[in-house]
Structure 1
């Protein structure tokens, strides 16, 4: 990768429970293991990413909320983590930022402006968008160069995908013409069943959405890690961590060497 060229990737799906936050935390840690300098941005008022990286949102004095409203400089709010990624944390205060931002001109650009102040310090910035299509997600998509969609391999996985893709198209038309939809990331994947593959094939066919390699398997380690405020990438070896390392390598080769992202053959 050309130094000084920061890659900004949003992870978005307005449906909850699709391993979105797990994807941001695990992908960030895996990219850090590849010697990339990584900033992760928690845009969810629930602060799940912040908690999963070892910080209690209830104990923080400043967060991305203050940065978006211009009350704090972004550099003063960033936190270190045990996963060697830098965190722009969230607290429940962020729920109020949505209403406050709506009253401001240029509200979709607040995050983009803030990230511009620190972008040169990082190789990769990952944005954990909230499970909605409100002004916070619009900020994430406006600030990003690319977006991926975590998609759980279950029957109703495609519900909302069309709406999200329409939102991405609107962002491309209005606030961020350069935004690229890279594809879906298959989560909660069960290789023992044809059902998982059938669901992904249906989504890929219906929306023309490529599915990035490798799929992320269903594993109890994700639930254990998020509940304890630790990363699935640390501790004993597990198949979830191995899959996220593979996804990180896929993306890094795309960014660093200009290779096309590897996608699944669902035929």
Structure 2
């Protein structure tokens, strides 16, 4: 959930700063779509129809008056990988789909699936930068090497200008030796930048998506909200 929370919260923080932001849900679990208050089962069209049905992205984007706009996902995306593979240049479908709307936004944030399949390769092939949210209380760091292998393949084959911004520590409790050790291991093993500030562990993050909002709205003065605002400022 850390990656989806990061996309939603960072997008909201950038929008607060006056930036035009589009969130793209590329995960068949549609967690990002849920987290901004939309029920995927109520949607007639989603990114699935954009990638495989000839529908234009602008006709599927759900606009927002205050926060980021959203290109939503539904469970139909789960069956898309095999269909995507049959397309010509299948790794560039997301880039092609987003090109007509790029000029309307300052930031497009893509929430990729947790697996390293064709949908994730599409997201990486469309991106300029990769931000890696890392849960510091688990063994999640073991997947960093696999992700970086995929990033290097994408850099070599489809998107040579792709850059890794760094690792964003999430669910971070600086009081624990384990959390600090995870960060040190990542920085040393993979020579990655550790982005600051770390996103603190908080029950507030679990509460926000349940009502279709981000922590910036539900707990605007919390440490978590302040951390995402600081991250947005640093990226700007």
Q: TM-score scaled by structure 2?
A: 0.97
Equivalent position SS for 1:150: strand
What's the counterpart of residue 202 of structure 2?
219
1:240 counterpart = 2:224: yes
Cα deviation, 1:111-169, whole Å, max 9, x if unaligned, reads 00011100000000000001100010001000000001000112513211111100000
Corresponding residue SS for 2:55: coil
Supply the distance in 2 between the matched residues of 1:121 and 1:98 (Cα, whole angstroms).
Answer: 28
Quote the residue 2:16 is aligned against: 33
Q: 1:155 to 1:63 in 2, by over 3 A?
A: closer
Contact 1:20 1:150 in 2 (8 A): yes
Distance 2:24 2:13 in 1: 16
| Pairwise CA distance, 1:188 | 0.3
Unmatched 5+ stretches in structure 1: 1-16, 253-267
Which residue of structure 2 aligns with residue 144 of structure 1? 127
CA distance in 2, matches of 1:111, 1:222: 29
The list of structure 1 runs, each at least 4 consecutive aligned residues, that deviate by more than 6 angstroms after superposition, is none
Cα distance in structure 1, aligned partners of 2:152 and 2:28: 25
Residues 208 and 218 in structure 2, CA contact (< 8 A), matched pair in contact too: no
Structure 2 unaligned spans of 5+: none
Q: Which residue of 2 aligns with 1:173?
A: 156
Name the structure 2 match of 1:196.
Answer: 179
Give yes or no for the alignment of 1:134 onto 2:109: no
RMSD: 1.1
Question: How far does residue 81 in structure 1 lie from its aligned partner after superposition?
Answer: 3.5
Name 1:62's counterpart in structure 2.
45
Task: Name the residue aligned to 1:185.
Answer: 168
